[in-house]
Amino acid sequence: MGGSIRFRALLFAALVVAAVVFVLPTFVNPVPSWWPWQQPVRLGLDLQGGTHLLYQVQIDAGIDNRTDQIGRDVESALRDAQVGAFTVERKGRTLEVRLATPDKRAEVKKVLQDRFTNLTLTESAGGEAADFTLTLNAREEQQLRDRFVDQALQILRNRIDQFGVSEPTILAQGTDEIVVQLPGIQDPQRAKDLIGRTALLEFKLVAEGPQAGTPQKPGPGMVVVPGRPGDRNQYVVEKRPIVTGDMLTDAQVLPGGVTEGYAVDFVFDARGAQLFGDATTHNVHRRLAIVLDGVVQSAPEIREPITGGRGQITGRFDFKEAQDLANVLRNGALPAPLKLLEERTVGPSLGRDSIRQGTISFAVGSALVVLFMMVYYRGGGVIADVALMINLLLILGAFAAFGFTLTLPGIAGIVLTVGMAVDANILILERMREELRSGKSVRAAIDAGYERAWNAIFDSNITTFLSGLILFQFGTGPVRGFAVTLCLGILTTMTTAVFLTRVVYDWLVVGRRMTTVSI
């Protein structure tokens, strides 16, 4: 028995020491450099201040964009097959292909069947109807819908990580919403510009000659694109891009001249480098428009073939603009546009008030519980109170060690944990009282008290734990923060209220340091 008590005591001592190591940086600033743990407990948005943004992924618009991209791929495939003149036009979610030479129908059909197996191909008899129609099949469309939110989440995480926000929260909510919480950010506009930018980059040749038409009436196969703010020009460009941003592998900020501002240097992958090289080789002395999210950033003249797979975007950017542009290009375009549904900014002073009020509520509640236990259960209450303090230390230590975020609902969960921890001790102490009144010895009363209270303690805590898991699985934001604290508190409560106090009683009884139980 003595060896068992010693082992359990050492185990709890190790847990307490580990908790102190993890918790100290939260309360001591600065932490000595030799201290093995430097990361304090993470504070949530409601405690630290920052920006809360709720976005909706515009899935239908994303599917339309994907259909447009497929249309460009169809044009490229038919052009490579040299099937003569043709047009590809999108109507809703359908692509219509019309041929100038009917004798190429069989060849076109084979190209479409071989290259676009994920589309439903329909052939018409000709006349006014399109020769072929291509539509996304139901399975492909559903896969796109499922994938858009996951892709948007990953891209936003990459963008925000490089934005420099400490401990952001980015998670899906429902079927098409994304919650973004940026602690410590008090200027939400730059964050919104970075997050919400689709970053669809396209390189298009500026139209020239009679086929270009005018900005008021562009020619066939041409579109009108506005310039950057401050640039009043409207550019008539070819509708079909020669390369797009999904072919980039890297983008970096480069310093420009005194008047030019900063530039963004980009690198293409092998396919993009080949397409870009071919296009610039065959269009020397033409202007190339660099279009980002439907706005021409610059339209320089192609002075010579660019075959190295590199290029620059200039536009008199300041450093932050160039840095954010390089960030979104490097991490890719969003698969679907984002719509901002909700925006909240929590100031640091409000966060400090929340911490102060939460601390006061916790201190008052804990003090009353501790006082009640000491008065009503005497020595047994003191042991329960010590276990309660260690319980709180273990909770904070776990928050720091595992990187959990402490929120205001989390503080409420800790206060609730205090009551639950005391409830377990009350069940044990009341059972021990009953056994002592029936005439049992101190040792027998302690054994019976823990044994008979165990089932009630376990059942109540396990049902509450399962409720916490359900809250965490289906809840969002503050509800999940409360659920994390609740579940963690139940685990530490079971550890301290049942097993730690039992070690203390065993040590007192076996060593004959206690001949009566003060309860």
> In whole angstroms, what is the distance from residue 325 CA to residue 318 CA?
11
The whole-number pLDDT of residue 45 equals 74
> In whole angstroms, what is the distance from residue 184 CA to residue 50 CA?
4
- Tokens representing 94 are 């359908």
Contact 268, 307 (CB under 8 A): no
Spell out the domains of the chain, with CATH numbers in brackets: 2-49+347-510 (1.20.1640.10), 51-56+141-345 (3.30.1360.200), 60-138 (3.30.70)
- Residue 44's Cβ-side half-sphere holds a number of Cα atoms within 13 Å equal to 23
Tell which residue, 86, 349, 111, has the closest CA to residue 220.
86
* Tens digits of pLDDT across the chain (519 residues): 556 888 888 999 999 999 999 999 988 888 888 899 988 888 877 777 788 889 999 998 888 888 888 887 888 888 888 888 888 888 888 888 888 877 888 888 888 888 888 888 888 866 666 788 888 888 888 888 888 888 888 888 888 876 766 667 888 888 899 988 887 776 678 778 878 777 778 889 998 888 777 888 888 878 899 988 777 888 999 888 888 887 888 888 887 655 567 888 888 888 888 888 888 898 998 998 988 888 888 888 888 888 888 888 776 778 888 888 888 778 777 888 888 898 887 776 666 777 788 778 878 888 888 899 999 998 889 999 999 999 999 999 999 998 888 888 888 888 888 888 888 889 999 999 998 888 888 888 898 999 999 999 999 899 999 999 998 888 766 787 888 889 999 999 989 988 899 998 888 887 666 667 777
- Residue 70's Cβ-side half-sphere holds a number of Cα atoms within 13 Å equal to 26
> In whole angstroms, what is the distance from residue 43 CA to residue 407 CA?
6
The structure tokens 């052009």 sit at: 79
- Tokens representing 95 are 């692509």
Which pairs from 465-468 meet CB under 8 Å and 24+ separation?
A: 465/490, 465/491
Strand 42-43 to 405-406 pairing:
parallel
CA 168 to chain centre: 8
Beta bridge partners of 206: 237
Cα–Cα separations (whole angstroms), residue 328 to 102, 157, 179, 198 = 44, 11, 19, 8
- Tokens representing 12 are 């709890």
* Beta carbons within 8 Å of 123's beta carbon, 6+ residues apart: 105, 109, 131, 132
* Beta carbons within 8 Å of 243's beta carbon, 6+ residues apart: 202, 203, 268, 272, 275, 276, 279
> Positive or negative CA dihedral for 267, 269, 273, 275?
negative
- Tokens representing 282 are 């065959």
> In whole angstroms, what is the distance from residue 233 CA to residue 289 CA?
12
> In whole angstroms, what is the distance from residue 317 CA to residue 311 CA?
16
Question: Phi/psi of residue 167, each to 5°?
Answer: 55, 55
- Helices 478-493/442-474 angle, 10° precision: 160
Single-letter residue type at 305: P
The whole-number pLDDT of residue 389 equals 92
> In whole angstroms, what is the distance from residue 6 CA to residue 497 CA?
18
> In whole angstroms, what is the distance from residue 1 CA to residue 210 CA?
99
Question: Phi/psi of residue 52, each to 5°?
Answer: -115, 125
The structure tokens 């975020």 sit at: 405
> In whole angstroms, what is the distance from residue 134 CA to residue 112 CA?
9
